[in-house]
Structure 1
Amino acid sequence: MKAMITLVCSLLLVFGGLGAAQAGSVNTLVISEVLYDPAGGDDQREWIELFNGTAGVIDLAEWSIGWGGSAYSYGTLQLDGTIDPAAYFIVGGPTSDLSNSSPSYSLAFDISPDLQNSGTIADGIALFHTLASSITNTTVPFFSVIYGGANSSSLIDHTGSVGAVDVGDAPSGQSIEFLGDGWVINPSPNPGSGSLSTVPVPSAIWMLASGLFGLVGIKRKSKTE
């Protein structure tokens, strides 16, 4: 019986891993796009987009975002609301017009101080699974993006180590976008949409797993009779 359960779990892990390898697929909450240097000025026009790659609704009450050049605690914001599976969530603004690609905000919030516009020295934005009030210079992020030049300020990534630069500095009016297997500069920001998707476990594997677990249940029942 133990061997059968182990087989089922192994199949789910193997085929789930194959799904995770597909470009554009994610299985967690991520920062998916950022417009940190809108055309015509940053104030009240910047935004950060999240994507929920899980199969369940995520309550954002215990999640927060931090940003800065020397540390993510330079600026912080407390998230609020929920995000459905395979859905996007945009925080920022509250201005929404052609200068910042007309986002529809899930959480209208004046990002202040403004997000860093980078340059020869990299800046970063990070997602934390903790309250904004708890973010310090040493808090390890859940997910992060380091953008621009050299990471001479030693911003850390989700491992707690100094992170590599994920993407270059986006020109004014362009965003940086996460594609699941890396970051790119997007000349045409697309808030609320993109190429990301959740990681699917093939239906055939779920059917096989259900059948095997059913057999385990029958075997247990027969032993008790």
Structure 2
Amino acid sequence: MLSSLKEKILNVKQTVQLFNADGNDRKRRKDVNLYAGAEILQHFQDHWAELHDINEQNAKKADEVAEEIDKVTHKITSSKKNLSLITHILSTSNLVQNITNCLDNVRDLYAQTDRIEKDLIDLENLIDEVQFENLKSKHRYHLEQYEERKSETLKSFHKSLEDNHSKKLEEYEAKKKREMEERQRVFQDAFKADLEIYKNLGALPETNQSQRNGAILEEIQIDYDPNELDQFFNEHA
């Protein structure tokens, strides 16, 4: 289109030159309009420049379209290759079986997780029971220690009572012994007095004299009160 336009412009220029050559002699005597046809030429030049810009824009857009087409073609080719590869894998490999095995493994994993969770709950219950038993054992140990301390205290108290009882009994026996010794001494003194009288007089003294000095040893009766010992302990408690 541009080449034909250029040819037309060249033809117009040549025609103008021929007209100028043929009528050169006739126009020499007249004024020549050098700008004749300039507007037409300018119009065609502007039109040609506009067409040239449009052509360049079209060429640039064509390059962009071609680049996009190349990208789309490359993408389609790559997708086709991937699709072919996937189809080949699906048709020749054990992918379906592997997926099935994976699903089975996932189900087994869920089952194992449930069992582990149940075992953990049982373990927590067992730990609680063990802690409770340990607490019971600890309390039982403290109770035994308390009973032992109380038993030792009770034994000590019993021993103290026994010692006190033995001490009071010894004191009581010592008192009775002193009383018996005092009585024995009195009787011995009376016997000695009677013996001296017998030696001197050759006869024993009158009965009333014996009663006044005291009873003879065979007639001595020891008074024993069963409540006297308890009374003695109560007085010294």
Measured against the shorter chain, the TM-score band is: under 0.3
Report which of the two has the higher share of helix: 2
Report which of the two has the higher share of strand: 1
**TM-score by structure 2 length?**
0.20
**TM-score by structure 1 length?**
0.21
Larger RCO (CA under 8 A, 6+ residues apart): 1
